[in-house]
């Protein structure tokens, strides 16, 4: 059709670069989808040292004002680090009214995030907590600093401030990090503030990279930042189910809240 269509910004994690396959699929299902790189692409920073939310605000305003986008608000979907950014966008940006967080953390990680005078420090990885299998596969599950440590509270994304809606998608077999725990922390924080603007989809046996259906399942994958094979976790059948079920629920969520 000729539109207008619900607008969605799509982001991935520390792979960097421009990743377009999910936004292409969203477009075939009637969304105006914008793949948004945030480092290691064209004139963007080569590495993720710090992040300025104004860049994402500009993208949200661009999509919101596009003549083919319904409005009044837009949605965002992110995986891994992109999921954190999705949470930050719906929390701080009035243009963003719905966020899908896939295998994300409820605190800011890796790089400090700035927005105006505000800074959210990033939790860091302790490489001394990485284990390596006999076959050379790195397990980084325990490496991220503990977000429940009071010393790390400045890193928490204040999602209770969001007026929009959250869909949290996690695999209980994720070995990249403790995404199930992070989703529980997010839900607890929202409920403590009297919020019910969320839905949680938690999949037993699913790993980290929950992509659209028929995407190959990678139990182990090369990490571009570390340059080594990293354990993603999950089991074939359970992960395939999570991809099929969550993809349908993600589209339903976005249609419901973007009109």
Q: Which domains, ranges and CATH numbers included, belong to the chain?
A: 7-125+145-215+236-258 (3.40.50.1820)
DSSP class of residue 194 equals T
Query: What residue has token string 């009214």?
Result: 97
Closest CA to 109 of 143, 135, 76: 143
Tokens of 172: 């209980």
Report helix, strand and coil shares of the chain as percent, to nearest 5.
30, 25, 40
> How high is the pLDDT of residue 14?
83
201 upstream amide cis, omega within 30 of 0: no
Tokens of 114: 């700035």
Letter string b/e over residues 173-204, b meaning 16 or more CB atoms within 10 A of that residue's CB: bbbbbbbbbbbbbbbebbeeeebeebeebbbe
Strands (E), the chain: 7-11, 32-35, 50-52, 74-79, 96-102, 112-115, 118-120, 131-132, 138-139, 165-171, 198-203, 220-223, 228-231
Q: Cβ atoms within 10 A of the Cβ of 34, count?
A: 22
Tokens of 217: 């399942």
Distance, in Å, from the CA atom of 139 to the CA atom of 148, rounded to the nearest integer, reads 21
DSSP class of residue 91 equals H
Distance, in Å, from the CA atom of 203 to the CA atom of 169, rounded to the nearest integer, reads 8
User: Is residue 100 within 8 Å of residue 36, measured between CB atoms?
Assistant: no
CA distances from 250 to 31, 78, 136, 210, 230 (A): 12, 11, 35, 12, 27
Q: What string of pLDDT tens digits covers the 259 residues of the chain?
A: 788 999 999 999 888 888 999 999 999 999 999 999 998 888 888 888 899 999 999 999 999 999 999 989 999 999 999 999 999 999 999 999 999 999 999 999 999 999 999 999 999 999 899 999 999 999 999 999 999 999 999 999 999 999 999 999 999 999 999 999 999 999 999 999 999 999 999 999 999 999 999 999 989 988 877 789 999 999 999 999 999 999 999 999 999 999 8
User: Is residue 200 within 8 Å of residue 168, measured between CB atoms?
Assistant: yes
> How high is the pLDDT of residue 1?
75
On whether the pTM is more than 0.85, the answer is: yes
């Amino acid at each position: 059709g000729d539109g207008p269509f619900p607008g969605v910004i799509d982001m991935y994690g520390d792979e960097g670069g421009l990743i377009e396959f999910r936004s292409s699929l969203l477009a075939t299902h009637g969304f105006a989808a914008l793949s948004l790189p945030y480092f290691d692409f064209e004139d963007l920073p080569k590495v993720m040292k710090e992040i300025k939310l104004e860049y994402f605000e500009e993208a949200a305003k661009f999509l919101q004002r596009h003549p083919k986008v319904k409005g009044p608000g837009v949605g965002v979907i992110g995986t891994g680090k992109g999921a954190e950014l999705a949470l930050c966008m719906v929390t701080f940006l009035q243009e963003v009214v719905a966020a899908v967080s896939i295998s994300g953390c409820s605190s800011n990680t890796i790089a400090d995030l700035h927005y105006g005078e505000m800074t959210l420090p990033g939790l860091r990885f302790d490489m001394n907590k990485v284990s390596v299998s006999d076959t050379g596969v790195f397990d980084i599950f325990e490496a991220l600093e503990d977000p429940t440590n009071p010393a790390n509270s400045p890193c928490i994304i204040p999602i209770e401030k969001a007026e929009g809606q959250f869909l949290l998608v996690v695999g209980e077999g994720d070995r990249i990090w403790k995404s199930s725990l992070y989703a529980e922390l997010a839900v607890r924080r929202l409920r403590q503030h009297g919020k019910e603007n969320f839905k949680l989809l938690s999949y037993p046996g699913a790993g980290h990279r929950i992509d659209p259906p028929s995407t190959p399942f990678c139990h182990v994958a090369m990490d571009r930042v570390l340059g080594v094979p990293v354990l993603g976790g999950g089991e074939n059948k359970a992960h395939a189910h999570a991809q099929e079920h969550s993809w349908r629920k993600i589209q339903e969520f976005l249609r419901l809240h973007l009109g």
